Amino acid sequence: MGKQDAVLPGPRIVDLKMSDCSRTFEIVKDVILSAHKNTGTEDKMGFYNSWAQNYDQDVGLLEYRAPSLAANNISSHFHGDREAAVVLDVACGTGLVAIQMKSHGFRYFVGVDGSRSMLEMAKHTGLYQDLKECMLGTEPLPIQWGSFDVVVIVGALSIGHVPVSVVRDLCRAAKPGGYVCMTTRANPDNVEYKAALERELRLMEEEELWSAVEVTEEREWERAVSEHEEGYIPGHVYLYKTSSL
């Protein structure tokens, strides 16, 4: 669920519960930028709880492509039984990733998120066999280690959201020979975080915890919202396969 790390140019109240018909891209920009004014865990979760009802529509206006890009990436490399595969959707939000993966034949999903309201929205999709509330980076994942065929995290690996160290838990959650798919933005606001993330991914590869399958750059990741950017910002999808040892 990570978006731009920026601050609005002055105090402004953003109505997260505005009626659907009145949502515009300008409103969505303000909503996303205001998310990063809530630096405390409690405030941030309060923000996402309030945003849950309009989240899907807002990221649609943003032309946010990460869920479909991640699902496509996984689908192009996964050759097992998709109907039997167990997918851990970390920072699942309202369920956008599961919706995309279902279109590729996956059927069994476990979702984890820190926002109770987001989890309620995910529940309404009817796609998840289990949903768990967890504050990523401050609490251990409430799952059995080494039990998932696919682990995916979309949007949360970003400055101001979850720490880079979370990727080690993602690796531990996957079965030996399982897949881990991660995404992050590649715009200037996220450069330092992305560099730290890629250092950790390489270090884990050197430790033979996993190996890189594919790293994909997408130039039109989502529409830019910060004042110093125009058009679309880029992003990356990382797909790793855990060691079979």
- DSSP 8-state code for residue 21: G
- Which pLDDT score, from 0 to 100, does residue 177 have? 97
- Which pLDDT score, from 0 to 100, does residue 9 have? 30
Which residues share a beta bridge with 151?
88, 180
Q: What is the CATH number of domain 66-242?
A: 3.40.50.150
Lowest mean pLDDT of 32-41, 48-57, 206-215, name the range: 32-41
Q: Looking at this protein, which amino acid is placed at residue 49?
A: N
Cα(129)–Cα(87) distance, integer angstroms = 10
- Which pLDDT score, from 0 to 100, does residue 17 have? 46
Tokens coding 29: 């920009």
- Residue 183, burial from CB neighbour count under 10 angstroms (0-12, 13-18, 19+): buried
CA 182 to chain CA centroid, Å, is: 7
Q: Using one digit for the tens of pLDDT, what is the confidence trace for 104-149? A: 999 999 999 999 999 999 999 999 999 999 999 899 999 999 999 9
- Which pLDDT score, from 0 to 100, does residue 160 have? 85
- Which pLDDT score, from 0 to 100, does residue 7 have? 27
Domain residue ranges of the chain, discontinuous segments joined by +: 66-242
Q: What is the mean pLDDT of residues 52-57?
A: 95
CA 229 to chain CA centroid, Å, is: 22
Would you call 238 helix, strand, or coil by DSSP?
A: strand
Long-range contacts, stretch 202-209, CB < 8 angstroms, 24+ apart: 204/167, 204/168, 204/171, 205/240, 208/243, 208/245, 209/168, 209/171, 209/242, 209/243
Provide the phi-psi class of 25: left if phi over 0, else alpha when psi is between -120 and 50, else beta.
alpha
Q: Which helix (H) or strand (E) holds 70?
A: helix 66-77
Nearest-CA neighbor of 92 among 59, 49, 121?
Answer: 121
Q: What is the mean pLDDT of residues 1-11?
A: 32
pTM of the model: 0.89
- Which pLDDT score, from 0 to 100, does residue 13 have? 32
